């Protein structure tokens, strides 16, 4: 008998309790920088050292954090369900927790790629500096989808979401496109669970929507237990 398909969409709130800063303050600044300075092709062209150091800081921080109870609960879910996770996060905490099918919409901190050949991607956990190049001498850059760039995994994520028999959304406002569009790919009658301490959607906004106004570390384990017992 085939396992029921669960698709999970996660955002920054998923990793917040692991101690990962969102890097964005109320003014929309990232570590004191305008987002376009550190997360756009134009910013990289103007000041590559600044951009590389910004991501080096994030990479170093990621080496020091661990999955929280929410990540671990999602990994446990694979014992009884066919689980796919589509995350907006660039950390590796889903994988560290044990989840085996994770799609990263916005790239991955522990990977870098050639500035000329976007398909030349390398695993990378140390600092990335000017002078680090691919086999052809082209500078390497973070394997991150910057503002103004295409989201290459979006079509894959949409195809996965179309298969959802249960959809779980965790720690994301669902306001940032194109990621926010994914909810509309789920089949009409699919039960949707929305886990967020400050939910900005109501249970009446979608059919079969259950809002769980809790953090990922608190709400996800409760939901997983409920799904195993249902």
- Catalytic site residues? 106
CA distances from 161 to 35, 65, 77, 156, 164 (A): 29, 29, 17, 9, 5
DSSP states of 143-175 as a string?
EE--TTS--TTHHHHHHHHTT-SEEEEES--S-
Q: Rounded distance, CA 64 to CA 57, Å?
A: 11
Maximum pairwise Cα distance, the chain: 56
End-to-end CA distance of the chain: 17
**128 and 142 in contact (C-beta within 8 Å)?**
yes
Helices (H) and strands (E) in the chain, counts: 7, 11
* 3-class state of residue 180 by DSSP: helix
């Amino acid at each position: 008998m085939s396992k029921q398909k669960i698709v999970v969409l996660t955002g920054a709130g998923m990793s917040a309790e692991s101690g990962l800063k969102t890097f964005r303050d109320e003014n929309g600044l990232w570590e004191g920088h305008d987002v376009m300075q550190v997360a756009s092709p134009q910013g990289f062209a103007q000041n590559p050292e600044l951009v590389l150091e910004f991501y080096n800081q994030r990479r170093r921080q990621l080496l020091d954090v661990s999955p929280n109870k929410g990540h671990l609960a999602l990994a446990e879910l694979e014992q009884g369900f066919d689980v796919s996770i589509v995350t907006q996060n660039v950390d590796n905490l889903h994988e560290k927790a044990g989840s085996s099918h994770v799609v990263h919409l916005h790239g991955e901190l522990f990977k870098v790629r050639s500035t000329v050949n976007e398909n030349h991607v390398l695993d990378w956990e140390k600092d990335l500096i000017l002078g680090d190049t691919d086999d052809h001498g082209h500078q390497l850059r973070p394997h991150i989808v910057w503002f103004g760039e295409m989201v290459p995994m979006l079509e894959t994520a949409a195809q996965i979401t179309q298969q959802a028999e249960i959809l779980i959304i965790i720690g994301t406002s669902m306001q940032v496109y194109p990621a926010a569009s994914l909810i509309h790919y789920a089949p009409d009658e699919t039960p949707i669970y929305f886990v967020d301490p400050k939910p900005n959607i109501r249970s009446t906004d979608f059919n079969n929507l259950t809002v769980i106004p809790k953090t990922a570390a608190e709400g996800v384990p409760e939901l997983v237990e409920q799904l195993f017992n249902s």
